[in-house]
Chains A and B, each alone.
Chain A
Amino acid sequence: MTERRDGARMNVLLGTGGSPDGLDALSETVERAREAGDELTVAVLDTSAEADPEDVESRVRDRLDELDYDADVRRITGHPGSQLVELAASEEFDRIVIGGGQRSPLGKIELGELAEFVLLNADRSVTLVR
């Protein structure tokens, strides 16, 4: 997110299903957005098998409150990866941001289904936040 096209502000789309790495990515992205003047939209993904989207949305809003930052928060239904990629394309976001994976008990980084799908299928740059 430090690269800028012609010094222009970027329009950033962050997707999260509520896992801890997604919320960490949110904090870091807000910090960068503030410095760079980027515009941030947060997509709350439907990972209802694992987490209640309503609960995820309120955690996202709580985090934004804590950071005292105003971002557009949207609930997205359907397959999380494909819907995130679709939204990024249809609304011409400059970049997609997602969490950088969880750690296994031994400390190995585990990339989830969302990361795999978005990395392989997005038609624009993707940032994995560590």
Chain B
Amino acid sequence: MSDRMYPDDPVDPFPEPPVRFDDREGRPIAVEASGADDLESLVEMYRAFDPADRAQGIPPIDEAAIRDWLAVLLDEDAINVVARHDGGIVGHAILVPDQNEAYELAVFVLGEFQGAGIGTRLLKGLLGQGQREGIEKVWLTVERWNKPAKNLYQKLGFETSNAESFELEMAIRLA
């Protein structure tokens, strides 16, 4: 869809990864840029992912489909940022290029690590990494009923870009 609208003004710079912090449960978390080297850790995270937390068909459920999907996400044109804890990956945020010089965004956090501020830090880290790599336009879709997610995206500077489809579409200008 090339008719997607973006805000006129770019947002302020986001912090670039790596970022270290303790989450609201006091667990030490590191938000870092990631890539193909993390494939096996990501497969492990998505195999543990609660099916109820899936959105619009992703992540896929069975391991073969997870691997096919991750191959697209870990392509060198995409941008990946992960949240690490205790040697494993507990959160993953991604920017994947579309056909219109913009990037689609998604973020996933493992169930027991949700609600502790990790998603927000992951998203900031991802958008900071996007700014570092010169990305200007980012969009996402979110289910209309998912108010917490919509509020979070809004707080980060996303604006509603299309309210006419099944899912709500939001966009941000990074530069």
Q: Does any Cβ of A come within 8 Å of B69's Cβ?
A: yes
A-B contact number at CB 8 A:
46
A105 with B165: in contact, given A110-B56, A110-B141 (CB under 8 Å)? no
**Shortest Cβ distance from residue A71 to the other chain B in the assembled complex, whole angstroms:** 29
A113 with B106: in contact, given A105-B96, A105-B97, A105-B98 (CB under 8 Å)? no
Q: Does any Cβ of B come within 8 Å of A8's Cβ?
A: no
Contact A108 B166, beta carbon cutoff 8 Å: no
Using Cβ atoms and an 8 Å threshold, which residues of chain B touch A106? 58, 72-73, 94, 96, 104-106
**Bound form: Cα–Cα A53–B72 in Å:** 33
Q: Does any Cβ of B come within 8 Å of A111's Cβ?
A: yes
In the complex, per-residue mask of B140-167: 1 if CB is within 8 Å of any chain A CB, else 0: 0100000000000000000000001111
Closest 3 CB pairs of A and B: A108-B56, A109-B57, A105-B96
* A residues adjacent to B (C-beta < 8 A): 103-113, 115-116
26 chain-A/chain-B pairs, Cβ below 8 angstroms: A103-B57, A104-B56, A104-B98, A104-B104, A104-B141, A105-B96, A105-B97, A105-B98, A106-B72, A106-B73, A106-B94, A106-B96, A106-B104, A106-B105, A106-B106, A107-B58, A107-B69, A108-B56, A108-B57, A108-B58, A108-B106, A110-B141, A112-B165, A113-B165, A115-B166, A116-B165
